[in-house]
A and B are shown apart, each in its own frame.
Chain A
């Protein structure tokens, strides 16, 4: 098949899919107010989980892991799987991988606990996805379509209408607690997977992942305690809104600006939580084969792998929400850009729909940048030794986050 034909065909498929998604969104937007609440929630879950999380996670298996590492190591990376004769930057590989995984034999080792062995991948995967239910991808939607921005920023009015929660699956006012509670459940999956396989390596990997995740979870929460003191809320959307405030009219008060130390700690601890190199001790390829999923094959293996990538996306999303302003675009408010403080009229007025689109794109962009950075680090640094991981967790990161907490508390007290 000639090249141009394949390219046109591919473009048609992509365009078709895009039109489908957009027209579906427009269609459902027209009906949104009339739809029952559960349908809206289902729609949100579908779009967030399949349209974003799963897409990014499965693309990362290819783009992040194989293409990016190839670029760093002066290689080309996979490009032999083709779509009608076009390698398309290797994209068809991840589909090929999925199909291959489906057709592989699923082996349960002798003496394994069959039920747990089967359930464990789901125990890792489900919490990883559940966390996304509290992530705000945009501010609440004003039903009349024209919210009023007040100079007192996080306080916005929606005249003659109400705030509708269209861009967040559940609007929990303790969203942050929920996110961390769910994230820490993942450790059960890893440990059970390691234990159920009846393999010493798996068991070691499971123990390691339990120890590592529990040690770092302490710091994960503590590094954010400073932000909690400053913002005084656990509601993720409220946190993002507060980050839209401007200091002296020009500096957006993102989490990274007010808590730079916490940002670095959180980023570091986040990497340790996702069990990616340089913190890949639970997998420890050189010592314990593949750690807790040594004995997994076929789709179960794929699910565990995917869950790790989803966890990476989740941590990246949390980083974006806490420190990089979530869906905030600097100086962009609900009615357009206000430079140098919120005036009565926006400097560049924008329709509400454009603002929404820009904010969603900003959120996705931030997440992707953080994911990219995590992968850069993954391909840059050598792994820590296991005892170094523990030393760092308990002796360096924990005291640092405690110190950060105390200093912040002190400053908050003075101001």
Chain B
């Protein structure tokens, strides 16, 4: 039989006043009173409440929040996507539908004629963003997908996606680069 190490913890004895509960009751009341009066303050900043009254007050999303997709644009306003199908291939929910068409510029080759994301199927995994070789699709719009009244509304087409789009810092492929000035 091995030695069993027993550590005896000595419990702190209650003092007389603790035993009568009187002081402890008053202390407890003090705590709740503090909260009560802090939260009564007319100045919202001084209150302790963490509740965000969501639909009435906007909620700040974190920087890396995966919101609505957006399609980035080139500096001449065309869609940046080259219809390589990487995103629609990797999409686990299979919700990106792309129909490619030939681009006038031979150095760009393809562009998406149709680009539809079914937001009802999208699971917001962000894989499409990771897969895209030319920073054409992003989810950093900071806008959440709103509720739909109709299934049709959940199909975000190319124009809808481009409305949120901006220019990328990444290098832009193709010769179709207009001179900066």
Contacts and interface: CB of A to CB of B under 8 A. Distances in A.
Interface of A: 68, 70-76, 79, 376-377, 379-381
Contact of A377 (B29, B51, B53): B29
B36 A376 contact: yes
B35 interface: yes
Interface of B: 25, 28-29, 31-33, 35-36, 39-40, 48-51, 53
A380 B24 CA distance: 11
Contacts of B32: 72, 376, 379-380
13 contacts: A71-B35, A71-B40, A72-B35, A72-B36, A74-B35, A75-B49, A75-B51, A76-B51, A376-B29, A376-B32, A377-B29, A381-B25, A381-B28
A79 B48 CA distance: 17
B48 A380 contact: no
B177 to A, nearest CB: 52
Nearest to A264: B22
Among all A-B residue pairs, the 6 with the closest Cβ atoms = A71-B39, A380-B32, A74-B48, A72-B32, A76-B51, A71-B36
Contacts of B48: 74
A380 B32 CA distance: 6
Contacts of B29: 376-377, 380
A116 B31 CA distance: 44
Nearest to B35: A72
Contacts of A376: 29, 32-33, 36
A68 B36 contact: yes
A375 to B, nearest CB: 10
B28 A380 contact: yes
A76 B50 CA distance: 9
A73 B28 contact: no
Contacts of A380: 28-29, 31-32
A126 B32 CA distance: 34
Nearest to A396: B20
B21 to A, nearest CB: 9
A76 B40 CA distance: 10
A71 B46 CA distance: 13
Contacts of B36: 68, 71-72, 376
A70 B51 CA distance: 11
Contacts of A76: 49, 51, 53
A346 B23 CA distance: 42
A74 B40 contact: no
Nearest to B53: A76
A351 to B, nearest CB: 34
Contacts of B25: 381
Nearest to B50: A74
Contacts of B28: 380-381
B38 to A, nearest CB: 8
Given A380-B28, A381-B28, A74 B39 contact: yes
A74 B50 CA distance: 7
A79 B49 CA distance: 14
A73 B35 contact: yes
Nearest to A381: B28
Contacts of B35: 71-74
B57 to A, nearest CB: 11
Nearest to A278: B25
Nearest to A76: B51
A197 to B, nearest CB: 34
Interface core residue of B33, B48, B49, B50 (most chain A CB under 10 Å): B49
Contacts of A68: 36
B23 to A, nearest CB: 13
B142 to A, nearest CB: 25
Contacts of B39: 70-72, 74
Nearest to A379: B32
Contacts of B40: 71
Nearest to B22: A264
Contact of A74 (B33, B49, B53): B49
Contacts of A74: 35, 39, 48-50
A88 to B, nearest CB: 14
Contacts of B33: 376
Contacts of A70: 39
A377 B53 CA distance: 28
B18 to A, nearest CB: 15
Nearest to A268: B25
A74 B35 CA distance: 7
Contacts of A377: 29
Contacts of A75: 49, 51
A73 B47 CA distance: 12
A376 B34 CA distance: 11
B26 to A, nearest CB: 10
A50 B31 CA distance: 35
Nearest to B47: A74
Nearest to A79: B53
Nearest to B39: A71
Given A71-B40, A379-B32, A381-B28, 15 more contacts: A68-B36, A71-B36, A72-B32, A72-B36, A72-B39, A74-B48, A74-B49, A76-B51, A76-B53, A79-B53, A376-B32, A376-B36, A380-B29, A380-B31, A381-B25
Contacts of A73: 35
A68 to B, nearest CB: 7
